[in-house]
Chains A and B, each alone.
Chain A
Amino acid sequence: MAKNFSFSKLWKGPFGTYLIVIVAYVIFQVLASTGNLPSVIIGLLPTICAYIAAAVSLNLVVGISGELSLGHAAFMSVGCYTGVVAATCYSAMFDIPWLVFFLSMFTGAAFAALAGFVVGVPVLRLSGDYLAIVTLAFGEIIKNIMNNLYVGLDASGLHFSLTSTTDLHMTNGKIIINGPQGAVGIEQLSTFFFGFILVMLTLAVVLNLVRSRSGRAIMAVRDNSIAAESVGINTMKYRLMAFVVAAALAGMAGVLYAMNYNAVVPVRFDYNASILILVYVVLGGIGNIRGSIISATVLVVLPEVLRFMSEYRMLIYAIVLIAVMVLPNVPAVKRFLDYLPTKLPFLRKRSEVPGDVVGGAE
């Protein structure tokens, strides 16, 4: 097959996506260690990675599976809080930060997957607008549970309560989750490198799933559920699979996000956060994984870069969002975008396979 080797073909596959992330990681790492990156951005790097993972996983639900979910941040919060609790327990057992981090991340993923399953089973009986509204409601329910959750750790083990810290009945323990104040006293274990690992892991899971037999089934259900059922695809099973996998990945993103801060309040994961992740997905292109990576990066960094404009910065942020959505449809810009690929071959959308359709914006 060496004769058929072509870089452009490889570039268009998952390898190209991995390469983009690796190159971006190296560039940012070099910039950071040589002191060429503002400290605000350096502190933001794990957060960027968390949002990339969240956006890519939401793209699995919205783009690949075709369900508009408005509660994705809730799965981040489940991952975040279970991950923080797990980290506190694991740190008491052993003193290896990376091991604690990854064990917590997988614990967070497991609980988020469980939440995804519990929410997914009733929600996926619906579709379209109804599904969107019910995911929104479930997101709020999860946020409210977190708002009233108290967890503490003392010598006798973990204590849970849904009313107050005194109800925990602890003796000189450590309060891990303190109701509306959220997770407190988090060990800041997240690093840019861990973030990079999470992004690669998310990409590996999503890109492999999409190219697998199950992925084909998920897309068949999206494109035509009646035809999918008539060829023997269990539509519920595959929609649920996409939903649960996405929830687990969002849970991991939540753990990474949490461990970049001292404390995380539950309202961080309200519907605004869910909408924000959806904005990353839509702006990057529904079903376009690379687009999610780029738009999540730009849109997390943008408000920080615009900080010098103080109260005008969210206005500019909104204008940028509108511009990105509207400009590609302005005739002059459209002509320019059509003209670019003729000069830059690697931007061409599809290979010139005979009989292949050329994907256009029309």
Chain B
Amino acid sequence: MLSVQDLNVYYGSIHALKGVSFDVDEGEIVTLIGANGAGKSTTLNTIAGLLRPRTGSITYEGESLTNVPAHKIVNRSIALCPEGRRIFLNMTVRENLEMGGFTRDDAEASESMERVFKRFPRLRERESQSGGTLSGGEQQMLAMGRALMSNPKLLMLDEPSMGLAPILVEEIFDIIKSLHEQGTTILLVEQNAQMALSVADRAYVLETGNVTMSGKASDLANDDRVRKAYLGG
């Protein structure tokens, strides 16, 4: 479904991704794990069109995404739920979701809104509250709900567990699992490797801009090197 080949991305003179390659098949959960600064978010942002690769290619359902601008990515049925949630703090929950359906017509958007409210009943309770007054967990749900408003086939989640209490992390991962069961393909970037590997089908380990290991998530979870570096022994 998604194929990333030999991606090289620079921030000025800093070489952030050094030939990253991986693919995501339809219906999978694929996770990219790695330490801070390994290039996980850079990879997602490049796929989302927010960054331009210097070389390399991104192919999605047989079409090149390499030079598609960020605002046109949504129309390819890919949605990014960005790192740090980045909800619109001054808008209400409903308005935030409406922005998520910006590229869709009214009928489709209101249908999506119903679906999102069904999945996140908490958001319906907070419908007219402004985004900035939500708790961290609710903000994460709102960010995911906003990404789902465009009804994507591929959902890219950037650090959904960041800054959340353990019980909320569980809740968010339950939602990821149920999204997956309903047929959404998910590309998940996480620092919480344990949680990520427990839900994912396959995983790639990124270290300073290189893919150093890859394989089935369950195999990687039992690999000694991965356990030592990312799973606390």
A joins B in a complex: yes
Contacts of A331 in B (CB 8 A): none
CA distance A224 to B83 in the complex (A): 12
Stretch at the interface among A3-11, A228-236, A332-340: A228-236
B128 touches A230 (CB 8 A): no
Other-chain contact of A227, B82, B90, B126, B128 (Cβ < 8 Å): B82
With a cutoff of 8 Å between Cβ atoms, the chain B residues found around residue A227 in the complex are 82, 86-88, 99, 146
For residue B90, which residues in chain A have a CB less than 8 angstroms away from its CB?
A: 219, 223
Min distance, Cβ B86 to any Cβ of chain A, angstroms: 4
The yes or no answer to A362 lying at the interface (CB within 8 A) is no
Contact B74 A232, beta carbon cutoff 8 Å: yes
Which listed residue (A219, A223, A232) contacts B71, Cβ 8 A? A232
B159 close to A (CB within 8 Å): no
Minimum C-beta distance from B170 to chain A (A) = 26
Interface string of B56-81 (1 = CB under 8 A from A): 00000000000001111111000111
**Residue B39 at the A interface, CB < 8 A?**
no
Chain B, interface size category, equals: 35 or more
Nearest-Cβ distance from residue B45 to partner chain A, whole angstroms: 8
Contact with A along B197-229 (1 / 0, CB 8 A): 000000000000000000000000000000000
Q: Contact at B48–A230, with CB atoms within 8 Å?
A: yes
Smallest Cβ-Cβ distance to B72: which chain A residue: A232
What is the bound-complex CA distance between A230 and B147, given in angstroms? 8
Residues of B within 8 A of A232 (CB): 71-75, 102-103, 150
| CB contacts between A and B, total, < 8 Å | 78
Taking CB atoms, residues of chain B closer than 8 Å to A226 are 50, 82, 86
| A356 beta carbon closer than 8 Å to chain B | yes
Q: Is the CB of B102 within 8 A of A233?
A: yes
Q: Which residue of B48, B88, B90 has the most chain A CB atoms within 10 A of its CB atom?
A: B88
Cβ of A23 within 8 Å of any chain B Cβ, yes or no, is: no
Contact A233 B86 (CB under 8 A): no
Binding site for B on A (CB under 8 A): 213, 216-217, 219-220, 223-224, 226-235, 353, 355-357
The distance in angstroms between the C-alpha atoms of A223 and B69, with both chains bound, is 20
Q: Does B164 contact A (CB under 8 A)?
A: no
A355 contacts B128, CB within 8 Å? yes
Interchain CA distance A235-B88 in the complex, whole Å = 15
24 contacts between A and B (CB under 8 A): A216-B95, A217-B102, A219-B91, A223-B88, A224-B86, A224-B89, A226-B86, A227-B86, A227-B146, A229-B49, A230-B74, A231-B103, A231-B146, A231-B147, A231-B149, A231-B150, A232-B75, A232-B150, A233-B99, A235-B71, A355-B129, A357-B129, A357-B130, A357-B132
**B50: which of A230, A234, A353, A355 is its contact (CB, 8 Å)?**
A230
Q: Which residues of A contact B48 (CB under 8 A)?
A: 230
Contact A220 B80 (CB under 8 A): no
Please determine whether B99 and A355 come into contact, CB atoms closer than 8 angstroms.
Answer: no
The 9 closest A-B pairs by CB, nearest first: A232-B74, A232-B103, A227-B86, A229-B70, A234-B71, A230-B80, A355-B129, A223-B88, A232-B71
Name B residues whose Cβ lies closer than 8 Å to a Cβ of A: 48-50, 69-75, 79-82, 86-91, 95, 98-100, 102-103, 126, 128-130, 132-133, 146-147, 149-150
Chain A residue contacts of B88, Cβ below 8 A: 219-220, 223-224, 227
**Cβ–Cβ < 8 Å partners of B49 in chain A:** 229
Complexed CA–CA distance, A178 and B178 (Å): 73
Q: Which residues of B contact A224 (CB under 8 A)?
A: 86-89
Among B98, B128, B132, B146, which residue has its beta carbon within 8 angstroms of that of A353?
A: B128
Q: In the complex, what residues of B have CB within 8 A of residue A219's CB?
A: 88, 90-91
Q: Given A224-B86, A230-B48, A231-B150, are A216 and B99 neighbors across the interface (CB < 8 Å)?
A: yes
Q: How far is the CA of A356 from the CA of B132 in the complex (A)?
A: 11
Question: Residues of A contacting B133 with CB < 8 Å?
Answer: 357
Give B48 Cβ to nearest chain A Cβ, in Å: 6
- In the complex, chain A residues whose CB is within 8 Å of the CB of B150: 231-232
A227 to B: closest C-beta gap in Å: 4
Given contacts A226-B50, A357-B133, contact A231 B82 (CB under 8 A): no
Query: Given A216-B98, A355-B129 in contact, is the A231-B91 Cβ separation under 8 Å?
Result: no
